[in-house]
Amino acid sequence: MKRPEGFDPPRPSAEPQGGRPQRAKTPKAPRERTAEAAPKMRVVPLSREAPKTDAGATGGRRPDSGDRASDARSTAQQRAAAREARAEAKRFTRNSRRRRLTIATLLGLVVLMLAVLAVAVFSPILALRTIRVEGNSAIPTATVQDALKPQLGTPLALLNDGRIRSELSSIILIRSYVTEIVPPNTLVVRVIERKAIGALRVGSDYQQVDPAGVVLATSATPSGLPIIQIGKAGVDSPGFAAAVKVLLAMPPSVLTQVASISATTLDNVSLTLNQGSHIIVWGSSAQSDLKATALAALLKNSNCATQTVLNVTAPLALACGPVQVTPTATPTPTPTPTHKP
């Protein structure tokens, strides 16, 4: 391409003309051409401009149908991945919200239970105000209520069984008891009373005792109870235990007829009855139930009802007579073994 004039400086001559050196001429500055004077250049495109494509994806060539399908699949995968990410975020948010709701509900229930427990324990609304006594006949109701009076005003949940037991232990006639709390402010006490089974003579008085040997009362007479004669032994002796076992085994119809019972050892028990002044030879306290039934049968027998001594030491071989007799036991037949051929 030819350079336009005025851009190249003039070349200096090699040798000076006429032998004299010539002053170098200062080049004149080129004149600026105006826009009208500038030559017009026409740009002729060599080929039509290709459509803009992703050179990295298509390699500088026009994409075909396969490339478009691949791009469509890639776009679909990206959209599916985006949808899956959004769904996962929703699931995470939903689970987190559910966990927070569950924790909040549990905390609310715990707080509610603590509040109810605090009201039940410390609120005066559920304090003890009424004491009801059941099952008593010999023990006055007021006696039990007065013994438990220190418990009044105590919340029902704070009632102390140990204190109740200590307060009721002062009442001798109570053998055992059961308590029941009836909201909002009632305590029910069901008692089982001790009952005297006999009388022990101490000096000129009689002590009424129960089967455990607990003295329930002292009176000048036996008060209709059998007199337990155990000599100088106490209520913890084998004789007292044997006498009590015999008295407990007797039916009420026979027990009411017993005037006294004597037991110095476990194997030497005898009784006297009020009617007819009968003397009952009992023997040991073993088989007391069967002996009591046999004695009831002897008292109904016309031949033995008039006799003084009734012997029931062997319940299956009874004897009666004017004096103490020893019964003859009926031998029990021995079974004959059978042999199979």
How many of the other CB atoms lie within 10 Å of CB of 47? Answer: 5
Q: What are 251-306's pLDDT values in tens digits?
A: 888 888 899 999 877 788 888 887 657 888 888 888 888 888 888 888 888 788 78
Output the CA–CA distances (angstroms, integers) from residue 189 to 162, 164, 172, 180, 184, in the order listed.
14, 10, 16, 7, 16
Contact 283, 312 (CB under 8 A): yes
Contact 63, 74 (CB under 8 A): no
Confidence of residue 225 (pLDDT cuts 50, 70, 90): very high
Contact 208, 219 (CB under 8 A): yes
- Which of 70-79, 117-126, 159-168, 283-292 is least confident? 117-126
Q: What are 298-333's pLDDT values in tens digits?
A: 888 878 878 888 888 888 877 887 765 444 333 434
The tally of CA atoms less than 13 A away on the side-chain side of residue 226 is 29
**What is the pTM (predicted TM-score) of this model?**
0.56
Per-residue pLDDT, 195: 93
DSSP symbol at 316: T
CA distance 100 to 93: 11
Which DSSP helix (H) or strand (E) runs through 277? Answer: none
Output the CA–CA distances (angstroms, integers) from residue 179 to 5, 124, 131, 142, 172, in the order listed.
132, 21, 10, 17, 18
Q: Which of 54, 74, 75 is nearest to 63 (CA)?
A: 54
pLDDT at position 35 over 90 = no
Between vectors from CA 122 to CA 119 and to CA 125, what angle results, nearest 5°? 70
Q: What are 132-162's pLDDT values in tens digits?
A: 999 999 999 999 999 999 999 998 888 999 9
CA distance 156 to 150: 13
Q: Is the dihedral of CA 297, 303, 304, 306 positive or negative?
A: positive
Cis peptide before 51 (omega within 30 of 0): no
CA distance 243 to 263: 6
- Over the range 293-332, which residues count as b (16 or more CB within 10 Å of their CB) and which as e? bbbeebbeeeebeebebbbbbbbeebbbeeeeeebeeeee
Q: What are 39-73's pLDDT values in tens digits?
A: 555 554 544 444 454 444 444 555 566 677 777 77
Percent of the chain predicted with pLDDT > 70: 74
What six digits make up the tokens of 103? 């924790």
